[in-house]
Chains A and B, each alone.
Chain A
């Protein structure tokens, strides 16, 4: 359970996140949705203190994150970066083993975990000695997710994890991750600007605008009752696309 209350972050006086309240339930996949500059990534980074809030609290299972050593906090939370952020001078295996090594796991245990994750992310075992620049975009993203999962976190934070992928790979990874989320009993917060992705993956979607959440609900609730004009506008694109694709398929069939 993640409880966020009155969270504020200002840059040069302007509020990027402006008194945000949010509760994320255990084992929920919550999507933070909004345009760039709405404060969704800033919010995500304040959960594991990559960014320190100016005001407000983040509680993880009732414990104020501000009281936890930030390094220990981050080792306990998986984080998938926008643009992956793999260490270019480390092999796939070294990248995946990053957090376990920082936590001083035994070597055989770490090695076993790397193999387990390669299998989980459907990456060939032979790939572990490659460097990131020798991989495709989809493979890099799989390694990024594997690295975040390595130390068996209960919470996963993901910043536009599938943004840079081609549509087929994106779809594949979205489904795989949604499965993993359930299978591993994770609590996931996923940031995206893609409403279709949000609707397809989320248990609940929180729509952000100007540093606040203007609407929160299940995909079904959002589609059926957008309430805010902005939310309705966001829903418009997937709705129109769906109708046209359906029409095409009907005409075909």
Chain B
């Protein structure tokens, strides 16, 4: 019970920030959506060709999965930035490609369809005889629109705004992935750390916001339509309160850039715990001289793209990932070659500086129980190959489809009795319980230690190296203070320490901050002993 309350307390610390940011992007996007959809609907209702074009575009936008739309905005903004820089001769892109701007653009686009469609339907649904009567009593076209058509279409239009409001609140939870804090932070980190309370808190908060907006808009509409003073008196302050909640000092501060004494530093993290811990560690290192902001939960290539255009100053990636997804190399090379070539390539292509390896790898490895290793004398994958026909292997389904798996099988001549696809969290429990003999693990995963597993050496170098490397944006690399502060992290973390830190968050339910602080203590201790 106590742990539960502690957990909630820690989670609630960020609630005002996340809720406020969530409301901000929702309210701004909805507002912009209304400002676009309503005039567009009014203008196109009498122009069938434009109407078809507008609803067509809005429908197509709607079919793009929300996550893809968010991710697509980013390269578009980077492109616009490049164009603006070229046109205006700027050295810096004027638009922020991650965070608030791409989120608002995506949410606004998404909100258009229901509002546009309902504006058109609402206006078309007004009895033509009433419209003619309005002309007949001597109204101008504008007066017909504002005094008769719009008031009569209002319930339908407001229904569209309500639909859009609910969608926008929901979709805003995904904005976390492109660096915009939102209630989605709870959901995404909760999924990662298997913190059900965190997921619940995110879901319940977002749902409550959606319901509140929907009901208040409905009440306001009813108040206007039925000339009901009490409805308006409840709805108007309620809506105002929600809007104001989006414009609190928390959300406004970055715009005002309150902390002018210290330069900003933006640290990125991808969507898994190790990434969160390392981002926190980096942030702690820089705290003394920089106003540090963490952008956690970024989509896989979002972080790299953001670093390239100086939207992020630093984050940790892995050599194998950069090698395959950014450099598009498919042949395997030894770890030192990969690190050297990658460092050179990043500098040449994107001006990104690789400060060096942190000292550990988060690679794929085959792991067995300690007893299994002792019983069969297993140290390498070659050893395993001799007895693989008596064993079963479990892995996440994706790995069995990858080139690494095919290379492993063919190079070592592996021939397992049984192949079991399994979700990665279940995999560890399965091997601990003796249900399978071998699993594919991540080398820095804390559960390797926790379940007393042994990783087997890849003696024929089939699996690509995934060395954790600290990457700096071109601008950050040019900042001697920043590089000096981060230099001590290079080569400072060994695999056991990283496993332990991961374990603290994965299993023990410690916070990312605690794990990062622990890691920092270890680094300091190591230095003293050196």
Residue ranges of A at the interface with B (Cβ–Cβ < 8 Å): 48, 50, 71-72, 74-76, 79, 81-83, 85-89, 98-99, 102-103, 147, 151
Contacts and interface: CB of A to CB of B under 8 A. Distances in A.
Interface string B120-142: 00000000011011111111100
A71 B137 CA distance: 9
B137 A79 contact: yes
B133 A102 contact: no
Chain B interface category by residue count? 10 to 19
B148 interface: yes
Interface in B333-381: none
B130 A88 contact: yes
Given A85-B129, A87-B130, A102-B143, A50 B137 contact: no
B151 interface: yes
Determine the main DSSP class of A at the interface with B.
loop
A75 B138 contact: yes
Contacts of B132: 50, 81, 85
Interface centre among B132, B133, B139, B151, by most chain A C-beta atoms within 10 angstroms, is B133
Contacts of A76: 138
Given A87-B148, A88-B152, A72 B129 contact: no
Nearest to B141: A71
B136 A87 contact: no
A79 B139 CA distance: 13
B137 A98 contact: yes
A126 to B, nearest CB: 17
A135 to B, nearest CB: 16
15 contacts: A50-B132, A50-B136, A74-B136, A74-B137, A79-B137, A81-B133, A81-B136, A83-B129, A85-B136, A86-B133, A87-B130, A87-B133, A87-B134, A89-B148, A98-B138
A167 B135 CA distance: 30
B204 to A, nearest CB: 38
B137 A89 contact: no
A88 B133 CA distance: 11
A75 B143 CA distance: 13
A81 B135 CA distance: 11
A83 B127 CA distance: 11
B135 A85 contact: no
Contacts of B137: 74-75, 79, 98-99, 102, 147
Given A71-B140, A74-B138, A89 B133 contact: no
Contacts of B152: 88-89
A85 B138 contact: no
B225 interface: yes
A50 B141 CA distance: 12
Contacts of B136: 48, 50, 74, 79, 81, 85
A86 B130 CA distance: 7
Interface string B269-304: 000000000000000000000000000000000000
B138 A102 contact: yes
Contacts of A85: 129-130, 132-133, 136
A88 B151 CA distance: 10
Contacts of B133: 79, 81, 85-87
A72 B135 contact: no
Q: Which of B136, B148, B225 has the most C-beta atoms of chain A within 10 angstroms of its own C-beta? A: B136
A48, A79, A98, A103: residue with the most chain B Cβ atoms closer than 10 Å? A98
Contacts of A102: 137-139, 143
Contacts of A151: 138
B401 to A, nearest CB: 61
Contacts of B138: 71-72, 74-76, 98-99, 102-103, 151
Contacts of A48: 136
A103 B138 CA distance: 9
Contacts of A81: 129, 132-133, 136
A85 to B, nearest CB: 3
Nearest to A79: B136
Contacts of B143: 102
Nearest to A91: B227
Nearest to B135: A50
B344 to A, nearest CB: 72
Interface string B136-172: 1111100100001001100000000000000000000
A85 B134 CA distance: 8
A155 to B, nearest CB: 13
B326 to A, nearest CB: 60
